[in-house]
Structure 1
Amino acid sequence: MLDQRSTAILTQLVNATSYLPVKVLTERFNVSRRTIYNDLEKINNWLKEQGLSPVQQVRSAGLIIDNETKIIIPKKIKKLEPWHYEYSAKERKSWLAIHLLGRDTELYLDNLMDLIRVSRNTTIEDLKVLKEELVKFQLKLEFDRKSGYTIIGDERSKRKAIVYYLSLALPDQTWQSLVSAFQLLITSNKEAETTLFNVEQLKAIYAIISESEKILQIHFADDVLHSLSLRFLLFAKRISKGKIVDIEPVEKEVLIETKEYKVAQFVCEKLTNIFKVAFPEDEILYLTTHLLSAKIQYSEVALSDTSNFQDLAGIISAMVDDFQKYACVLFQNRDLLEKNLFMHIKPAFYRIKYELEIENEIAESIKEKYTEIFLLTKKIIHHLERFINKPVHDNEIAFIAMHFGGWMKREGTTPAVRRKALIVCASGLGTSQMLKQQLEGLFSTIDIVGVASIREFESKDYDVDFVISTTQVAKDDQPVFIVNPILTEAEKESLLKKVNSLFQTSQENKSIEGLMDLIKRHADIFDESSLMKELKLFLNKASVQKVTVKKPNLANLITEEMIQLVEHVPNWQEAIKLASVPLLERNWITNNYVEAMIGNIEKLGPYIVISPQFAIPHAKPEDGVNRLGMSLLRVKNAVPFSANSKHDVNIIVILAAIDSETHLKALTQLTNMLSQSTVMDKLIASNSKEEILKLVASR
């Protein structure tokens, strides 16, 4: 039986123009290789039942389906019988909600069992889960012998639930494959299909919304265009039953002034012709909120033309200011960054304001892979929260973080390749945590994703590159390194060499072979294999030493020789020069870098004062940074960085960053430390470097 993901994978393979690597699928669907292979088994079983050729795998290239089979599959999917498709638990829950919110007739347990095609007990369990989840929408699931199962609550809450459950139920595919899947997924009950959904109506609504894009001079994201089509279809059906939303008078005044309101009038006029029902003014305004909140792929409207959103543009500018402060970067094409952010944050503003929550699994991936950038974005999101007067969900924060992260890469930063490792330990939590701390200090580009017992490791699948264990364990598809719970220096060096050798690239192997050829031309080699081994170990050691300086802790950077304590400085320029001395003396920065820091402040103002009494001057790496470093100056009598007393500073930390990524871990620790007023007071009152080092070490 196929399910949502295996159907989506099959669609990807059909649309692929050449071999599709398994790695691409694991990243696209955010699942493990083992999960992809399980789905491929389902796909091949289904293809066999249909009399079609299976998916072929070529070791060095990837997966492929022959062209003849590619032509037949879309027709087969379109005609797929309901019993060939298996709903996931998430899909079952979502379709139950959608059917109950769109029902025209009474729905009892037997009806719901037929709709989601599972047993009585499974349907009852799914209804329990749904009932608990509906509470967050202020809705109740109730049962009555006469009317069956119904969802009780106000109309606006029901509409929010429709938006949310559609985002969970629908596969992320092209429009044509979505329509095919939609015809399959709706129901095996043809009578229910005609009362709940109508595919021809859906296609007509899709065309209407596509036409509205031209009026707005925008392109909606593909998944949003699909979702809007289904939302408007369900909303229209509810309106035809007299289920109307109410819009607050204050909201009406704002919404009527938008271009989207004019487009909503156009859309509702077209929908009236399809459904033969008049759309009240409040419903036109309600559809306006959905057009405003829809994600945009492209806009022909420049930021300067959005005169109605100057306040929001100011909020975005403040967010960029703070991001630059906290990340210690200066975006070279800031105007374009703000324009792109505006295109994303404007619809996000309406999604948050009108509580149109949409589930999207990519957010978790962003939080996991780009932790520092996500945390930095979370640190600046208070500007938007104050503007909307509502908290911003992590899903929205993650998408904003994705914009910042993409821009940092555009500025020339290429993050180091990161690997994932699992610790397997039979000696309990204390021992495993101790080993984890040692390994995190040893590897800077490897993420320890978790700790497992032997039983957990043997019974579960883990999406990791390798395993470090305190006892003998084995899995065919994962390298395992056996270590002692307390690592000696020799064991650390040995483990570094082994891990580095594991991920040595083919280019590095070619370099060693080339070096061997060079040696042969000028010397006699008595033991070629031993020399090759020694060269690999030597070159790996050099590479490892370079890797271990990545993303150091705050305590690695602010050491005793990097701290200065003075009573007074004449002005902020002299304060920066004095604070830079430890870095200059070691040639970690040049005098040009000091002048660049001062020049930035003269040009941009005291943007480096990121909290009361604390400043972190910095410039671009290319302005004169030779090595990553930080130096700290404590000035007993505060030095003013402007005429405003809020810019009086006692603690100055010079940051010399080599790129936009490596310093983020230490910087996050520093800003967290100095955000506590008690810590700041202790720093200012410190009479020795030792006192400051203790505060730094406690982070």
Structure 2
Amino acid sequence: MKTRTVELLQKVSSSKYPIKAEVLAADFNVSQRTIRSEILEANEWLISNRLPEIMTIRSKGFFIKQSETDRKLLEAALQNLKGDLLNRQERTFDIVLSIAYGKAPVYLNRKEEEFQISKSTIDEDMRRLRADLLKYGIEVVSYGKQGLSYKGPERSIRTMLYDLINQQLGMIDFSMNKDPKVTPVQRIFNTYFDLEDIRKLGEIYSSKLPNQEDDIYKNQLLLFTLIWIQRVKRHELISAVSWKNADFEDDNFSDFIDLVVTEFQLTEVPQVERNYIHFTIETFNTRDISNTLEWVQAQLLTIQLIQFVEHETHIPFHLKEELLCESLYKHMAALIIRIKNDVQVFNPLKENIRTNYYPIYRAVSQFVPTIEEVVGGRMTEDERAFLVIHFSTVASAINRDLTYIYKSVVVCNHGIATGNLLAENLKEKFPQIEVVAVLSSKEVELVDKLDVDLIFSTFNLTYSNKPSLVIDPILTEVNSPIIEDFLRKNDEFLRLEPSGNESTELFTKILTIVEESGGRVDRSIYSQMETLFEDNNLEINKREIQPMLKDILTDNHIMIREAAATWQESIELVAKPLLKENIIEKRYVDAMIHAVDEYGPYIVIGKHLALAHARPEDGANKLGISVATIDQPINFGNLDMDPVKIIFCLAAVDSYSHLTIMKELIELINDEAKLNQLIDCTTIQAFKQLLFTEEGK
């Protein structure tokens, strides 16, 4: 029997009710006449296997009347019959790979025979495939004796193959340590990709790029490389690229590519192809980006995303801000490059992530349009789930280090002794309730003077400023669900209480950290120290570590109504105070101008506002910021934000000390009225007074 006949038989046999011919015809996209013809074919097979036939019940449709034993026998027989028969999804996968990698020309009539399906079925397969490929800008065309071929940009074809393989196979095991169950899809993949090639590529990776921590990123990188190898072997080459050739800083990637070219005997690989694969696999790398193009975008989006998710979920991510910012920034930097180049990482855990961390997933999803607008491309659900992983990891650390409590007061009209008993019972049965005080009925007015959020009372209060619950003075099982419901309805009042550790243990840990660091406090040491202090409920003055604008923007760093003829001059102008005080070096100014010249006006981050900057290693000696308002506004080339009327220059020396300043700049971008007032200021004093108004609220 043909594939469709088998699927038709399965559908009818699994139904508890008759199915009409028109319903089956619509499901299989064929005529009712074809359905009746295939029912006859199915019945011939059923009779030969001594199984009940498909009956035609007048006005109701087709039905198989069978016992449980007959049903099991039919199910087993169909499983054996299906054997090598493929469903539509599997057939489409085979067609896509055969066009891309097949050794012989692909003809539809031969595929029809190979799949054991009818012409109408293969036509329907191709109709759906062509519709799916349109989103990649790819057509399937027939060139006579050459068979089927793809028509479209080679880069799009590779992206399509990458997406489809991920959808069908999930994550490929390049280590080849396991012997996975061979499914029809896996068999198809193995037809066009040699298992020995997969093993060899995994070994090359291990020898040249041993430090990649995440298997998901590693396997995506290798899959894309595998697709590239096979296409280059067939001389299906990209003719041009949409990015400028760059001097790649990571020699490991170059060594990796060189060894791949040698081991897979890829002869005469054009430089454009080397640049393409180098750039593409670099987007799967989670480390810092190697140029300044996306630096501000990644920084701003990271800070905005953290603020947004904290606001939406009420999880205090600011308590672990350094840890979260560091990991999220690195991911965001790579994500921006991937979105811009339409190559995004497949995430096999996305459904589990969405289910188990839905509040965070929902908040991240609500922020995604902002990322897409800034970057100028669509972001997949897979990438969305990776962002959630960063937040959920930190959320787990916060929950581990902190206790959620309800600050409460007990008001009792049966005497203080009874009130104290009620308070102890509440704390025993509901550890999250912290009773701050026990009051008598005559002391209700004291509630406003206490730092509490909830009231538990033994009588009806006239007081209504805070949520209150009337309960019996002696708690019983009847009260428990009522209290649980009350707490659940008021969960916005949950507070976080840090847990404390022994001071001697804290002192020992500090000594150990400093000793192991060799006396040099870097980003890692800073994070460890901060975590240690948070764990022990010890506050640190973050303003000394992360100063505000007010702390470092001094009078001699503010310039009002200055003249600049070009955007280059405006950058040189705003950098002068920092250059004069050796906060930055001359090469830092050159790097700022070079970045805009090469990558465009990405430093224009708000309406009429630019943030000139370079990377720390480009010549930033210490944290600093300066600002200038421009007398005659300057066009940088950003149609939405030009002309620039105010420009800041930021010198950042690490990935954390300037975060508070960045937050203040984000607030300024969102406050258009205040920004316009700053632009109109005529004195430094007026500028400072307005800029620092309500700072720290």
**Same fold at TM > 0.5:** no
Rg comparison, structure with higher value: 2
What TM-score do the two structures reach when normalised by structure 1?
Answer: 0.45
TM-score by length of 2: 0.45
